[in-house]
């Protein structure tokens, strides 16, 4: 975390991190009397892997839902690409280039892997209804072009062998990977991952970590992820936000966070007793 | 017996054609059920409303003329012009799209996430509202619908079969056209659902709302689109049935005939609606011909479809083509 400038910084392994693409300013989210997020600010820079960690109930998932438009904070502002974002519905946020996965996996179970990933391309396809209905001109061209992109992503995530399988039949680990593929197909400006390793065995976790790093490396995708598993997070991410009881208690590089006393007390201490 | 066999063939063919008409109605059900999980009881009334609107526009009827006359003391009934069939069909389609929008805006938007039974009740309410609304808008008398589809015996088939069997089959031209149109409609709908962005979005919405939102699909747009499609299918069904037997309020009852078709074909399958329709159409005609009329005193067509559906419910509840629901344990 040296050379921190407004334009970005260079990581220890030599990757160039760009300017701030998203900024949360003093976000407060309440459900009735329960404060889920209390006055939290942080930013996400272009090309980085940004983690949000914290014990159970810390408000991590709520924060992700605020970013993706599923929750609307009572106070605070979301700044995206240099402009304040108005209150938006989730599908509008998605159309702006913020793709996400879900902790409990939200795939279209009855559809094939290929179709699922193709839905990720909706933002890139804008042929009119009529053109689609007669399947000529723009609609046909678009379908073919987008299919090519999707096939590349399917290859990249090594799920070619299950392309035509209905998602409902797949085991958990593969479903997670299909969900990642669908989010990736949107070529998002920011990719939000909600506990991408939850419920996985060691081998699956290693695979997923590798894919996340590869995605970031290959496509330069900005990734914000929530994770429970401290070890995984520290290896993966460039910068980490630590939450506890809805408050931010730490923010910085993995090393900085590791040495932060508040973090050790709240999180590591609990995790290792 | 050969004579019996030849008659049986004619009955079989007529059954197929009747089945196509059932399938057309069932198709509207499947579309809405697939995309929103709503069993749309109003599909039959939708067909009636479409047919009423089509006739009204073609004949240049003044909508709500009874109401207007009662309030303003006027005596208007017709604009005094007639509209060509094709233009009237397009205008009717616009009305159906507007209706689709209104149905979402005023009813189903407020019922998101409710139990299926609540949604079903809402469609029953919609059915009766629409029946009354259609009545108020276009009047309640039986109307003749003629959009220029050929009707009457098909002389080619009559002649060819006469030359082969020594007995001319009676096949109605209208039924042939209905079959052709339905076939094209089904192929188009299947292709649309499978290979286009909005078709895929439609299936996505049917599968998981939250996931659909997260990839940038507007639920509202898809629902309006699906109801418009159902309105379009209803219009086609309304034209066929209306041409056959006149536009009258009993048209809304064809929805009940679609129920056994759906149980056979499965509620979620577009090809299933067609096959189900054909089986019911052929089944009830042949049953009447072979068993019903000679042994049971006839009129078996009224109940045959429902009994067949009942048998299917016992042995294959998801229908022939429906998705078998398997839960992981």
Within an 8 Å CB–CB cutoff, is residue A110 touching chain B? Answer: yes
| Residue A134 confidence (pLDDT) | 65
Q: Is B211 within 8 Å of A108 when comparing Cβ atoms?
A: yes
> How many residues does this entry show for chain B?
329
Collect all residues of chain A within an 8 Å Cβ-Cβ radius of residue B206.
110
pLDDT(B206) > 70: yes
Closest CA to B34 of B203, B227, B261: B203
Q: What is the mean pLDDT of residues B198-210?
A: 86
Q: What is the mean pLDDT of chain B?
A: 86
Q: Where do the H-state alpha helices sit in chain A?
A: 60-67, 90-95, 113-119, 129-134, 138-156, 172-185, 202-219, 230-236, 254-259, 261-263, 269-272
Give the residue from A97, A98, A133 with the most B CB atoms within 10 Å of its CB, the best one to mutate: A133
| Residue B326 confidence (pLDDT) | 53
Indicate the residue of A89, A122, A129 with minimum beta-carbon distance to B215.
A122
Q: What is the mean pLDDT of residues B13-37?
A: 84
Within an 8 Å CB–CB cutoff, is residue A99 touching chain B? Answer: yes
Chain A nearest-CA residue for B213:
A91
User: pLDDT > 90: what percent of chain A?
Assistant: 56
Q: What is the mean pLDDT of residues B153-169?
A: 84
> Who has greater pLDDT, B130 or B318?
B130
| Residue B150 confidence (pLDDT) | 84
Q: What is the mean pLDDT of residues A54-61?
A: 87
Give the residue from B37, B188, B215, B227 with the most A CB atoms within 10 Å of its CB, the best one to mutate: B215
Q: What part of B 191-220 touches A (C-beta under 8 Å)?
A: 191-192, 195-201, 203-204, 206-208, 210-219
pLDDT(A272) > 50: no
| Residue A271 confidence (pLDDT) | 47
Tokens found for residue B237: 């069904």
> Who has greater pLDDT, B229 or B193?
B229
CA dihedral B194→B195→B199→B204, nearest 10 degrees, is 70
Tokens found for residue A80: 């995206």
pLDDT(B202) > 50: yes
| Residue B33 confidence (pLDDT) | 85
| Residue A269 confidence (pLDDT) | 57
CA–CA min distance A180, chain B (Å): 12
| Residue B1 confidence (pLDDT) | 53
The domain locations on chain A are: 1-97+188-273, 110-185
Categorize the per-residue pLDDT at B10 as very low, low, confident or very high, splitting at 50, 70 and 90. Answer: confident
Closest CA to B239 of B86, B61, B72, B14: B86
Within an 8 Å CB–CB cutoff, is residue A187 touching chain B? Answer: no
Q: What pTM was estimated for this model as a whole?
A: 0.80
Categorize the per-residue pLDDT at A270 as very low, low, confident or very high, splitting at 50, 70 and 90. Answer: low
Collect all residues of chain A within an 8 Å Cβ-Cβ radius of residue B208.
106-109
Closest CA to B215 of A257, A180, A24, A95: A95
Q: What is the mean pLDDT of residues B116-120?
A: 89
Asked if residue A49 lies in contact with residue A223, where contact means CB atoms within 8 angstroms, the answer is: yes
Categorize the per-residue pLDDT at B55 as very low, low, confident or very high, splitting at 50, 70 and 90. Answer: very high
| Residue B198 confidence (pLDDT) | 87
Categorize the per-residue pLDDT at A194 as very low, low, confident or very high, splitting at 50, 70 and 90. Answer: very high
Categorize the per-residue pLDDT at A136 as very low, low, confident or very high, splitting at 50, 70 and 90. Answer: low
Chain B nearest-CA residue for A108:
B207
pLDDT(B146) > 60: yes
The CATH topology of domain A1-97+188-273 is Rossmann fold (3.40.50)
Collect all residues of chain B within an 8 Å Cβ-Cβ radius of residue A143.
195-197
Q: What is the mean pLDDT of residues B135-158?
A: 85
| Residue B228 confidence (pLDDT) | 93
| Residue B329 confidence (pLDDT) | 52
Closest CA to B232 of B92, B122, B120: B92
Q: Is B211 within 8 Å of A100 when comparing Cβ atoms?
A: no
| Residue B115 confidence (pLDDT) | 83
| Residue B315 confidence (pLDDT) | 84
| Residue B324 confidence (pLDDT) | 59
Tokens found for residue B164: 């082969």
Chain A nearest-CA residue for B325:
A110
Within an 8 Å CB–CB cutoff, is residue A115 touching chain B? Answer: yes
**Residue B8, beta-bridge partner list:** none
Chain position carrying tokens 């995708």: A221
Residue B312: its H or E element: helix B301-315
Give the residue from A68, A70, A91 with the most B CB atoms within 10 Å of its CB, the best one to mutate: A91
Q: Is B208 within 8 Å of A107 when comparing Cβ atoms?
A: yes
Asked if residue A153 lies in contact with residue B246, where contact means CB atoms within 8 angstroms, the answer is: no
Q: Is A142 within 8 Å of B197 when comparing Cβ atoms?
A: yes
Within an 8 Å CB–CB cutoff, is residue B325 touching chain A? Answer: no
Q: What is the mean pLDDT of residues B8-20?
A: 87
Instruction: Measure Cα distances from B320 to B37, B79, B147, B264 in Å.
Output: 19, 50, 35, 6
| Residue B109 confidence (pLDDT) | 85
| Residue B323 confidence (pLDDT) | 63
| Residue A273 confidence (pLDDT) | 43
pLDDT(A230) > 80: no
Asked if residue B57 lies in contact with residue B94, where contact means CB atoms within 8 angstroms, the answer is: no
How many Cβ atoms from other residues are within 10 Å of residue B136's Cβ? 14
pLDDT(B2) > 90: no
Chain A nearest-CA residue for B217:
A91
Categorize the per-residue pLDDT at A46 as very low, low, confident or very high, splitting at 50, 70 and 90. Answer: very high
Q: What is the mean pLDDT of residues B273-296?
A: 89
**Residue A79, beta-bridge partner list:** A23, A84
Note the pLDDT tens digit of each residue in A81-103: 989 999 999 999 999 999 999 98
Q: Is B197 within 8 Å of A133 when comparing Cβ atoms?
A: no
């Amino acid at each position: 975390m040296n050379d921190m400038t407004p334009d970005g910084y260079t990581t220890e392994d030599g990757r160039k991190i760009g300017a701030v693409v998203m900024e949360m300013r003093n976000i407060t989210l309440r459900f009735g009397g329960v404060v889920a997020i209390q006055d939290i600010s942080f930013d996400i820079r272009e090309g980085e892997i940004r983690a949000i960690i914290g014990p159970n109930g810390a408000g991590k998932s709520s924060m992700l839902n605020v970013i993706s438009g599923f929750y609307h904070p009572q106070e605070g502002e979301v700044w995206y690409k240099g402009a304040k974002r108005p209150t938006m519905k989730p599908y509008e946020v998605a159309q702006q280039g913020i793709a996400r996965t879900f902790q409990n996996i939200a795939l279209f179970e009855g559809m094939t892997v290929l179709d699922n990933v193709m839905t990720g391309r909706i933002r890139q396809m804008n042929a009119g209804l009529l053109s689609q209905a007669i399947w000529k001109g723009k609609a046909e061209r678009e379908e073919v072009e987008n299919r090519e992109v999707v096939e590349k992503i399917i290859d990249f995530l090594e799920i070619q062998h299950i392309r035509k399988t209905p998602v409902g039949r797949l085991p958990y680990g593969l479903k997670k990977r299909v969900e990642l593929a669908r989010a990736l197909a949107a070529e998002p400006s920011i990719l939000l991952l909600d506990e991408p390793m939850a419920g996985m065995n060691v081998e699956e976790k290693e695979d997923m970590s590798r894919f996340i790093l590869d995605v970031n490396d290959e496509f330069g995708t900005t990734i914000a992820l929530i994770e429970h598993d401290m070890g995984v997070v520290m290896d993966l991410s460039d910068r980490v936000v630590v939450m506890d009881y809805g408050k931010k208690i730490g923010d910085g590089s993995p090393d900085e966070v590791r040495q932060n006393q508040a973090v050790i007390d709240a999180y590591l201490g609990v995790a290792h007793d | 017996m050969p004579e019996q066999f030849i008659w049986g063939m004619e009955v079989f063919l007529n059954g197929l054609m009747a089945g196509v008409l059932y399938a057309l109605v069932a198709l509207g059900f499947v579309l809405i059920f697939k995309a929103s999980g709503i069993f749309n009881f109003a599909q039959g009334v939708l067909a009636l409303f479409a047919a009423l609107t089509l006739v009204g526009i073609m004949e240049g009827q003044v909508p709500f003329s009874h109401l207007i006359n009662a309030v303003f003391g006027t005596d208007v009934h017709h604009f005094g012009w007639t509209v060509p069939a094709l233009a009237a069909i397009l205008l009717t389609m616009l009305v159906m799209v507007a209706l689709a929008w209104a149905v979402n805006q005023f009813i189903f938007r407020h019922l998101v996430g409710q139990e299926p039974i609540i949604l079903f009740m809402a469609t029953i309410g919609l059915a009766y509202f629409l029946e009354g609304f259609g009545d108020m808008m276009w009047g309640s008398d039986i109307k003749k619908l003629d959009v220029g589809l050929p009707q009457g015996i098909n002389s080619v088939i009559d002649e060819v079969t006469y030359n082969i069997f020594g007995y001319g089959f009676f096949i109605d031209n209208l039924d042939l056209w209905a079959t052709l149109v339905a076939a094209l409609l089904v192929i188009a709908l299947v292709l649309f659902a499978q290979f286009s962005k909005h078709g895929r979005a439609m299936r996505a919405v049917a599968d998981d709302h939250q996931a659909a939102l997260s990839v940038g699909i507007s639920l509202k747009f898809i629902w309006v689109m699906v109801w418009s499609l159902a309105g379009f299918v209803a219009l086609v069904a309304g034209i066929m049935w209306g041409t056959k037997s006149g536009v009258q309020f009993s048209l809304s009852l064809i929805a009940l005939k679609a129920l056994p078709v759906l149980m056979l074909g499965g509620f979620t399958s577009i090809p299933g609606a067609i096959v189900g329709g054909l089986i019911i159409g052929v089944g009830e005609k042949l049953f009447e011909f072979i068993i019903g009329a000679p042994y049971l005193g006839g009129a078996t067509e009224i109940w045959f479809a429902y009994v067949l559906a009942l048998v299917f419910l016992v042995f294959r509840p998801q229908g022939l083509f429906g998705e078998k629901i398997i839960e992981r344990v």
